[in-house]
Amino acid sequence: MRTDTQTITRLEDYRPPDYLIDTVELDIRLDPAATRIRSVLKIRPNPAGRSGAPLVLDGDELLFHGLAVDGEPAPPDSYEATPEALTLREPPAGPFALTVDTEVNPSANTKLMGLYRSNGVYCTQCEADGFRRISYLLDRPDVLSVYTTRIEAEREEAPVLLGNGNLRETGEVEGTTRHFAVWHDPHPKPAYLFAVVGGDLARTAKTFRTMSGREVEIAVYVEPGKEDRSHYALDALERSMRWDERVFGREYDLDVFNVVAVSDFNMGAMENKGLNIFNDKYVLASPDTATDADYANIEAVIAHEYFHNWTGNRITCRDWFQLCLKEGLTVFRDQEFSSDERSRAVHRIAEVRTLRARQFAEDAGPLAHPVRPTRYREINNFYTATVYEKGAEIVRMLKTLLGDATFARGMERYFERCDGTAATVEDFLDCFAEVSGRDLGHFKRWYEQAGTPTVTVGTAYDPQAGTYRLDFRQETAPTPGQPDKAPLVIPVLLGLVAEDGGRLDCVSNNLREDGLFVLESATDSLSFEGVRSRPVPSLFRGFSAPVRVELDLPDSDLLTLLRHDTDPFNRWQSAQTVALRLLTALARDPSQAPRDEFPDAIGAFLDRSGRHDPAFTAMVLALPGETEIAQEIGRDVDPDAVHAARDRMKAALGHRLGERLRSLRDAFPPEDRYSPDAASAGRRALRNAALDLIAAGDPAGGERLAAEQFERATNMTDRLAALVTLSLIPGEVRETTLARFGELYAAEPLVLDKWFALQAAIPEEGTLARVRELMNHPAFAFSNPNRVRSLIGSFAMANPTQFHREDGAGYALLAEAVLALNGTNPQIAARLLTGFGTWRSMNAPRRAQAQAALERIAGAPNLSPDVLDIVQRSLA
């Protein structure tokens, strides 16, 4: 193994930069194969750095053309220029100007980092370290500069030229067919927030009046012809801006805010200052091409990137270890936004489902890491569910612990104090410690300690004395590099529910008024007095902490909660817990027969469901996923047994509840006009959840219903749901419908992505061959991250039985794809490779196959740092 060739970056080694760069003036002459960049940097020694140190600017695959210091060409022996660095041996002692000329080839840039072309559109991606692929710079987030960017291009090729900040000037380049635009961003920023765009793009725009009365032009740019699909994103942007003013008091700070959609993008979107660049799947929406889930995602991602303007851009990160400072906080903010715009309870359930599926899985495997890691070999591998989603949960816990008002004051202080700085997690926590007068040192462990804590709760009721006691114990399993774990500060929001659903008046001396109990040590107890009847505890209401809970409650108590709890999250959770118990038992011992109790309880729930939000009812109908069941089993997992258990349980539900489900569908007939609002989406979700179960219980009847729905559907949500249901029923109808869908949307890559994904997820032996065939489909391309994620990513992440085939053929397919992408797009290759993340929890034959596949990858020549890092950690 080549650990030796990899440099490790450590948090404790942080040193301030030796030089600061006050201004960056760029002149970028766009050209498909030879873009020239001239950069003028105003540099001065950093008083906090080492004086007299050489100046080492970062580069990556750069073609160097020349260097001048204070306008004078630099003598050749005064510097060294390689593709990776530009070193000025003895920089002037005072401020000086450096002029650097470089050249890059955007068309050949398949890594999609730096300046590249997507469908002919020039665009950039600089986070985390992509700027150095455009020009030499101190490419680190604690170097903040004011940027002025002149962009020049052929008018015909790139009529639209966009940069950060405000537009200063436009014009023709005399005597040529070229034109230019000059953009100026007055807000100092790190290089990772830099962006330019040039291309033939269509604009949809409106004027936004800020809370202080300033007018901002907000616009969404898409490929010409797709303007009608940009309205929802623009609307979501406007709502995000309004919400951030109202809820966090944050006003936008430039005259324009532009969003650009591109088809080739490694991630979801990027918060470049005033010029967000998006993966087009998070912008483009029409009823015919986007599902309700797409609309919700667009709203969330638009909000997320916009919210970064304050949490990320105005206040940025000192170093990349602090990534969660912007990401966890911004995810928290976008989750709050979506909860306000939609149903809070339903949104919370959706958040927790993803957290468990992705983050808990990560925490339980070889790639587990703290929310704030302390070392990395490749920072791009740390844009993880842990940093993002668990990072958001930590912020939410802080709010729960401090209370809404104190939390708001802490945020206020953070915005005031840290504005314009590159901050740390400590800076953030200090603000909350000050406004609350509390010591948050213990709480900070959440950032430092990896792994999901398990909280075990025992109960003891004494009817004579009228006392009730809850005994808590917390424990966190070892994770890589962290064998011993310390207790965390765990906020437990709870309440007691009477068995008959009535009120239970009782007192406890250790419970805050809103039902908060804080577990701070390894074990603790909470006692109640005056308890007149046996209570059922409702614990971790609203999922008040990202932990797994082990409860000694009987199923009957949980079903009481499903019926009577005032907390909607726990109503859902209690049904899930019962289902999970049954599913794990069934997976462990397939000779068991599923009992009717659970279906009957769900049936009774459905009978009362007129009182519920349809979206909530749909959530209750969805059984825990295979990943979650596998996690619960923990080790020696047999994915076939897990799948079979879930399948049988679904069939039992569908069978037992068939009539009710059919009448539910009839109660919510399709609407004539599609509207993406949460209430309409909820009705569609319920109708489609019912379809899914009906088909599980009665495949022939379900097939007829689904085929009919497919034909009649007037929107993509219903059409796709029908196709997903059909995809699970082998036979003629499935194959012809799949083929029809493929033809219908042959010209719609984002729709074909759904088609790739659902076929890759079919839990049948033939899927491997199907995926291989689809890899040859004319619409599939290894060069496009969305295609790769849809086909190969969903095979690895959404099809446990086939990816984890006992013969190792699923692993081999993924390994092949990883190696195919290793050279061209290492970030996507590494991301795919995380599909192996749970390999150690599989049973012995699968473990052996996975290990062999990982070792084959590890032994391949020319591995990128990205892939090498993941493969080595996976095998460690």
For ligand PHE, give the closer residue by CB, 163 or 391: 391
Residue type for position 488: L
Are 241 and 252 within 8 A, CB to CB?
yes
- Per CB under 6 A, the list member of 38, 184, 250, 304 interacting with ligand PHE is 304
Window of 223-231, 269-277, 492-500, 835-843 that interacts with ligand PHE by CB under 6 A: 269-277
Note if 305 is an active site residue: yes
Distance CA 429, CA 443 (A): 9
Where does residue 662 rank: exposed (0-12), middle (13-18), buried (19+ CB within 10 A)? Answer: middle
Q: How far is the CB of 391 from Zn ion (least distance, A)?
A: 10
- 280 contact choice in Zn ion, ligand PHE, none (CB below 5 to 8 Å, kind-dependent): none
Which listed residue (104, 121, 182, 269) binds ligand PHE by CB under 6 A?
269
Nearer to ligand PHE, 383 or 782 (CB): 383
Shortest approach of ligand PHE to residue 276 CB, angstroms?
9
For Zn ion, which stretch binds (CB under 5 A), given 322-330, 457-465, 781-789, 800-808? 322-330
**Up-side HSE of residue 748: CA atoms within 13 Å toward CB?**
20
Specify the residue, 383 or 780, whose C-beta has the smaller distance to ligand PHE. Answer: 383
| Binding range to ligand PHE, per CB under 6 A, among 2-10, 90-98, 267-275, 390-398 | 267-275
Place of tokens 């080839």: 105
Residue 753's SS3 state is helix
Contact with ligand PHE (CB under 6 A) among 25, 58, 127, 253: 127
Does 267 help bind ligand PHE (rule: CB under 6 A)?
yes
Report, in Å, the least distance between residue 377 CB and ligand PHE.
17
User: Which does residue 822 touch among Zn ion, ligand PHE, none (CB within 5 to 8 A, set by kind)?
Assistant: none
Least distance to ligand PHE, CB of residue 277, Å: 8
Residue nearest to ligand PHE (CB): 267
Q: Is residue 133 involved in binding ligand PHE (CB under 6 A)?
A: no
**Which has the closest alpha carbon to 804: 631, 640, 589, 624?**
640
Mask for 317-356, x = binds ligand PHE (CB under 6 A): ----------x-----------------------------
Among 305, 336, 393, 557, binds ligand PHE (CB under 6 A): 305
From Zn ion, ligand PHE, none, which one binds at residue 127 (CB under 5 to 8 Å depending on kind)? ligand PHE
| Binding piece for Zn ion, criterion CB under 5 A, among 330-338, 371-379, 581-589, 838-846 | 330-338
Please choose, from the candidates 402, 407, 259, the residue with its C-alpha nearest in 3D space to the C-alpha of residue 329. Answer: 407
Q: Which is nearer to Zn ion, 387 or 686 (CB)?
A: 387
Binding site partner of 125, from Zn ion, ligand PHE, none, Cβ cut-off 5-8 A by kind: ligand PHE
Backbone angles phi, psi at 608, to 5 degrees: -95, 5
| Strands 454-462 vs 467-475: parallel, antiparallel or unpaired | antiparallel
Give, in order, the Cα–Cα distances in Å from 424 to each of 318, 607, 646, 677, 813. 6, 52, 44, 38, 41
Give whichever of 223 and 271 is closer to ligand PHE, judged by the CB atom. 271
Q: How far is the CB of 861 from ligand PHE (least distance, A)?
A: 27
For residues 269 and 253, is the Cβ–Cβ distance under 8 A? Answer: no
CA distances from 243 to 250, 333, 354, 693 (A): 9, 10, 24, 38
359-418 residues near ligand PHE, rule: CB under 6 A: 383
Number of continuous H segments (helices) and E segments (strands) in the chain: 29, 32
φ/ψ (deg, to 5) at 396? -65, -40
The interface region with Zn ion, picked from 327-335, 354-362, 748-756, 845-853 by CB under 5 A, is 327-335
Catalytic residue among 305, 327, 336, 362: 305
Q: Which does 572 bind (CB under 5 to 8 A by kind): Zn ion, ligand PHE, none?
A: none
Residue 795's identity, in one-letter code, is F
* CA–CA distance, 47 with 304 (Å, rounded to integer): 35
Q: Among 851, 874, 872, which residue's Cα sits nearest to residue 863? A: 872
Tokens matching residue 148:
């002025």
723 binds, among Zn ion, ligand PHE, none (CB under 5 to 8 A by kind): none
DSSP string, 856-874: HHHHSTT--HHHHHHHHHH
Shortest Å, Cβ 12 to ligand PHE: 24
Tokens of 110: 């398949």
Q: Could you say which of 46, 125, 343, 544 contacts ligand PHE (CB under 6 A)?
A: 125
Query: Out of 261, 270, 629, 830, which residue is the one contacting ligand PHE (CB under 6 A)?
Result: 270
757 binds ligand PHE (CB under 6 A): no
* Residue 265 CB, nearest approach to ligand PHE (Å): 8
Distances, alpha carbon 341 to alpha carbons 248, 303, 336, 638, 844, in Å: 15, 11, 9, 41, 47
> How many residues of this chain bind Zn ion (CB under 5 A)?
2
Q: Which stretch binds Zn ion (CB under 5 A): 79-87, 230-238, 320-328, 504-512?
A: 320-328
Distance in angstroms (rounded) separating the CA atoms of residues 53 and 797 = 48
Q: With CA atoms as reference, report the closest residue to 429 among 57, 418, 361, 169.
A: 418
**Residue 308 or 612: which CB sits closer to Zn ion?**
308
Cβ closer to ligand PHE: 125 or 838? Answer: 125
> Cα(805)–Cα(626) distance, rounded to whole angstroms?
15
CA 86 to chain centre: 35
Closest by alpha carbon to 447, among 362, 390, 406?
390
**Choices 35-43, 323-331, 570-578, 656-664 (CB under 5 A): range interacting with Zn ion:** 323-331
The least CB distance from residue 522 to Zn ion, in Å, is 34
CA pseudo-torsion sign 153, 158, 159, 161: negative
Residues that bind Zn ion (CB under 5 A): 327, 330
Q: Which residues bind ligand PHE (CB under 6 A)?
A: 125, 127, 266-267, 269-271, 304-305, 308, 327, 383
Catalytic machinery residues: 305
